Amino acid sequence: MTTSTGVTREWQGLTIPAPGTYQLDPAHRRVGFVARHMMVSKVRGEFTEASATITVAEDPLESAVQATIGAASITTGQDDRDAHLRSADFLDAEKYPTLEFRSTGVTSHSGSEFVLAGELTIHGVTRPVELKVEFEGVGRSPFGQDIFGFTASTEIDREDFGLTWNVALETGGVLVGKKIKIEIEGEGVRQS
């Protein structure tokens, strides 16, 4: 059922956006990651360039997402490490300038939590992934924009995408962990 404003509706106990096309708000988004360093600590970083189109369908479970991330926009707060991550040892940002995500469907949901299946392309390699998505709410900004918020996360094995560079440590283990946790936060802004 659509509310009287026509921009939200009730669905299975949630107030959700009305059907339409939404863009990821560049001022309210974070595409981050966490990787293990030397088997003892974590390095956090993010991509500062990311865009996404979110199509909210009449049936919310048929909604779709397409996202593009600028590989060269990776930052961890340490210039030498960032340059190495952009190099051919890792993302090879010159040859593969973007990381891409395209959803293939919502596979399950419970309350405000959804599992979004899709295809992630990194370094020219495409693999299936599942994002755990939490719908955070819907509203209208002080500037009259219809928005909704969400968080999403997944974990990937970077070697599945051809990112195999590493260094063995004298004490055992490796310099860079294989598992990478991806953390996304954002707001979608209605376009139509």
- CATH code, domain with 46: 2.40.128.110
Helices (H) and strands (E) in the chain, counts: 1, 12
Residue 145 reports pLDDT greater than 60:
yes
Q: Which two tokens stand for residue 170?
A: 């004298």
Over the Cα atoms of the chain, what is R_g? 18
d(CA 159, CA 138) in angstroms, rounded, equals 37
- Domain assignment present for residue 2? The answer is no
d(CA 123, CA 182) in angstroms, rounded, equals 16
Strand, helix or coil for residue 61: helix
Residue 4 reports pLDDT greater than 60:
no
Least confident of 9-18, 38-47, 57-66, 178-187: 38-47
d(CA 184, CA 126) in angstroms, rounded, equals 19
- Domain assignment present for residue 175? The answer is yes
pLDDT at 37: 78
Domain that holds residue 119: 8-190
Residue 133 reports pLDDT greater than 50:
yes
Which residue is listed with tokens 């988004």? 29
pLDDT at 2: 37
Least confident of 22-36, 109-123, 168-182: 168-182
d(CA 128, CA 116) in angstroms, rounded, equals 11
Tally of structural domains, the chain: 1
Residue 5 reports pLDDT greater than 70:
no
pLDDT at 3: 39
pLDDT class for 16, splitting at 50, 70, 90?
Answer: very high
- Domain assignment present for residue 3? The answer is no
pLDDT class for 1, splitting at 50, 70, 90?
Answer: very low
